[in-house]
Amino acid sequence: MKRFGPIAIILIGLLVLAGMRWTMPRYERITGPIAFAGKPDAWVDTGNLAVRAGPPQLARTIRFKALGKVEERTSAGIWLVVPVRSRVDHATAHVYGRIWVTPDGRRYRASGRVEDGDVVLTGTKTLQPGLERKDLVVFELPAELANGEGALLLSEERDPQLTAQARITYPAAVPASPAKLLDLDELHAKL
Amino acid sequence: MIFSDKSFKEGRSLATIFSLKEWRTRATAGVGGIAAIIASWGIGLFEERDQRPPPTLSVGHPIPAGEWSLRFERVIRSDRLPDGTMVSRSGREAIILYVQATNRTTRSSNSLLQAVALATPVKGVDARPTAYLMRDHAIMTDLQPGLPEEVALVWTYPAGQRIASPLRFDVMASNFKPQDNLYAQPLWTDTHKIGVVDLPLQTAQGGGL
């Protein structure tokens, strides 16, 4: 019996180590963004940045003013346009992190193809404390994701780690047929 | 130790010095050394075996290459860039490769620039290509997962050179690792050549030479 003591200690040690290894959350999650969950059409306050995202619009083609020219952008899939009101409480900031998460977990960054648009929320649009902004966040998705289900992630950092991130979850909607042509400036003016 | 003064001073006999135990230790060390030599020779042989010529990949069909699915179409030389402007640096022309690229990952990415390399030597050519999205005739930004796009990859080079045709391109791919060793994050790593593509060089109409 005495001989089995050390063996038992080693076995228990291995079990404890294995248990810690299996239950340890991934480093990616431990140092990941600090999530602030929210709903569409409601303000989500993440500390400094506060956002309020409206209902998404779908379109096959979008038209917008960019650098004094009118641009039209087609897509192999569809455009998903989300109106977003944003403000900061105490420090100047940018909304560098703009991601749409699909129900199957794919992460689509806001399209770089509309980066110059006057009414598109991009890294060049600065948020100053006390001055609320309204902009559009534009994503390009495959057509099969056109029921508008997903989550909008907005953050002051492009890849937030230990930084606040607003997560606005959109339920699946009745698949409305996407608009043939959506004028972003008109949509922005109506907000 | 064996032939040290100490052994002799202690009055050990020759038989003790060359005892069976010591010979066994020496033999073990010898066997270990020989095993190491064989192992390193074997690894060298294995690496030699690995350097077989890369396969020639087909043109006009999608090729899975790690993060990307690539369909090579054609390659032209031109003095005009895909956005319609002249090659801005004077005295240069461009090799323009047209591919259809699909992002096979779950994230928006522009790592396409690392997936194709010009293998035919051209004097003074750009080390890395510039990508243009043909849908917009503008510089390419991220490509979105699951959306195939026509892309033009552009290498500029000093004009007036004879360029061998067909042009050869290396196709590179990375391996997916669900958890990397340091942070346990998903990672695309170990970029390696999966094959080559040969395309005849055409001259652009209304431009170029």
Q: Is residue A125 assigned to a domain?
A: yes
CA distances from B156 to A152, B133, B139, B207 (A): 40, 17, 15, 15
SS3 A19: helix
| List of chain B residues whose C-beta atoms are within 8 Å of the C-beta of residue A26 | 179, 184-185
Residue A53's pLDDT is 96
Q: Which two tokens stand for residue B80?
A: 């005009």
What predicted TM-score, i.e. pTM, was given to this entire model? 0.82
List, for residues B113-133, the tens digit of each pLDDT value. 999 999 999 999 999 999 999
Query: Phi/psi zone of residue B19: left (φ > 0), alpha (ψ -120 to 50 degrees), beta?
Result: beta
Residues B86 and B143 occupy one common structural domain: yes
Q: Is residue A2 assigned to a domain?
A: no
> By the 8 A CB rule, do B76 and B132 touch?
no
Residues B80 and B155 occupy one common structural domain: yes
Residues B157 and B137 occupy one common structural domain: yes
Q: Which two tokens stand for residue A5?
A: 């003591």
Residues B108 and B18 occupy one common structural domain: no
Domains: count for chain A: 1
Q: Do B141 and A140 touch (CB under 8 A)?
A: no
Q: Which two tokens stand for residue B183?
A: 């942070």
Chain A contact for B180 (CB, 8 A cutoff): no
Domain that holds residue A47: 33-190
Locate tokens 């009055």: which residue?
B11
Residues B130 and B92 occupy one common structural domain: yes
Q: Do A75 and B147 touch (CB under 8 A)?
A: yes
Residues B132 and B38 occupy one common structural domain: no
Domains: count for chain B: 2
List, for residues B46-88, the tens digit of each pLDDT value. 887 767 778 899 999 999 999 999 999 999 999 899 988 888 7
Residues B143 and B67 occupy one common structural domain: yes
Confidence of residue B208 (pLDDT cuts 50, 70, 90): very low
Residues B76 and B136 occupy one common structural domain: yes
Residues B142 and B92 occupy one common structural domain: yes
> By the 8 A CB rule, do B208 and B78 touch?
yes
Residues B103 and B43 occupy one common structural domain: no
Residues B155 and B93 occupy one common structural domain: yes
| List of chain B residues whose C-beta atoms are within 8 Å of the C-beta of residue A28 | 183-185
Residues B76 and B155 occupy one common structural domain: yes
Helical (H) or strand (E) element with B198: strand B187-199
Q: What is chain A's pLDDT, residue by residue, as a tens digit (191 residues)? A: 678 899 999 999 999 999 998 898 888 888 899 999 999 999 999 999 999 999 999 999 999 999 999 999 999 999 999 999 999 999 999 999 999 999 999 999 999 999 999 999 999 999 999 999 999 999 999 998 878 899 999 999 999 999 999 999 999 876 678 899 999 999 999 98
Domain harbouring A147, CATH code: 2.60.40.1240
Neighbours of B56 (CB within 10 A): 11
**Cα–Cα distance for residue pair B178/B186, rounded to 1 Å:** 4
Q: Is residue A7 assigned to a domain?
A: no
